Amino acid sequence: MKDILLINDMPGYGRVALSCMIPVLSNKGKSVFNLPTAVVSNTLDYGKFAILDTTEYMKQATKVWEELDFSFDLIATGFLYSLEQVDIIKDFIAKQKNSPDVIVDPIMADNGKLYNGLDEDNIENFRKLIDIATVIIPNETEARMITSKMDEPINDVAEKLIQMGAKYAVITSVEENDEHFVFCMDENFVSDKIYYEYIDTSYAGTGDLFSALFISQYSENKSIFESAKYASLKTTELLKLSLDIKDKARGLPIERFIDIL
């Protein structure tokens, strides 16, 4: 069994980030560990929140882990609070003896704009993380912001991500000519579009769910194309079952439908 380390924020209220990904991956039988980048009172979608920067804790935790010789097979990063956290993560990964796969989900934006409380520094943070990424999983907005390609074809955006250092690029929530798909490209610039049924709704944590499902397959040596197809199918299925949920900022009801994932 592979050991998976999730580096992301932990909300007190809402099924996003670690509170979404841990139950999904645990239900898949994965060995999951976590390193919180921040403790947040609730999802940012509510517009008002309290946030605790855990940078100092990350320094101390990774130092202890190094002394204890803890190692991981796959490390997945999500929301990062500061550039200093990028340095902590890169240093920790560089000292891992077994060269883990690194999956970067640059959580910072959607629908053409940054999330509440975030700014241009967040974009720069993720640019500095790409060169260690085995797979980068941005949504279309995040991919365009990172590459500064706001109007170019999505193929050019994916190519730029790989040129910046990622081995594989998986761009979610792409819309083109009224069609919706995930755009995948490998290190040889071979690409594929994975189309999915568009559900006209928006829940906090949908991207986190996709990432967790992707990781569940990729960690079993499935290709990025197979992993993205599975994650798209299951995410769409859960969205369709959750249309009666009124508080979309709270996130998807993971526990309610955990068996279908």
Task: Give the Cα separation of 28 and 212 in Å (integer).
Answer: 10
Structure tokens at 205: 């944590």
pLDDT at 225: 98
What total number of domains does the chain contain?
A: 1
Q: Whole domain around residue 122: which residue ranges?
A: 3-260
pLDDT band of residue 1 (cuts 50, 70, 90) is confident
Task: Give the Cα separation of 12 and 197 in Å (integer).
Answer: 31
Q: Give yes or no for residue 128 having a pLDDT over 90.
A: yes
**How many angstroms from the chain centroid is the CA of residue 187?**
19
For residue range 133-165, list pLDDT tens digits in order: 999 999 999 999 999 999 999 999 999 999 999
Contact 10, 40 (CB under 8 A): yes
Q: Residue 100 belongs to a domain with what CATH number?
A: 3.40.1190.20
Query: Residue ranges of the alpha helices (H) in 69-139?
Result: 83-94, 120-127
Q: Enumerate the β-bridge partners of residue 157.
A: none
Task: Give the Cα separation of 157 and 150 in Å (integer).
Answer: 9
pTM for the full predicted model: 0.96
Going 229 to 211 to 170 to 173, the CA torsion angle's sign is: positive
pLDDT at 118: 86
Contact 135, 165 (CB under 8 A): no
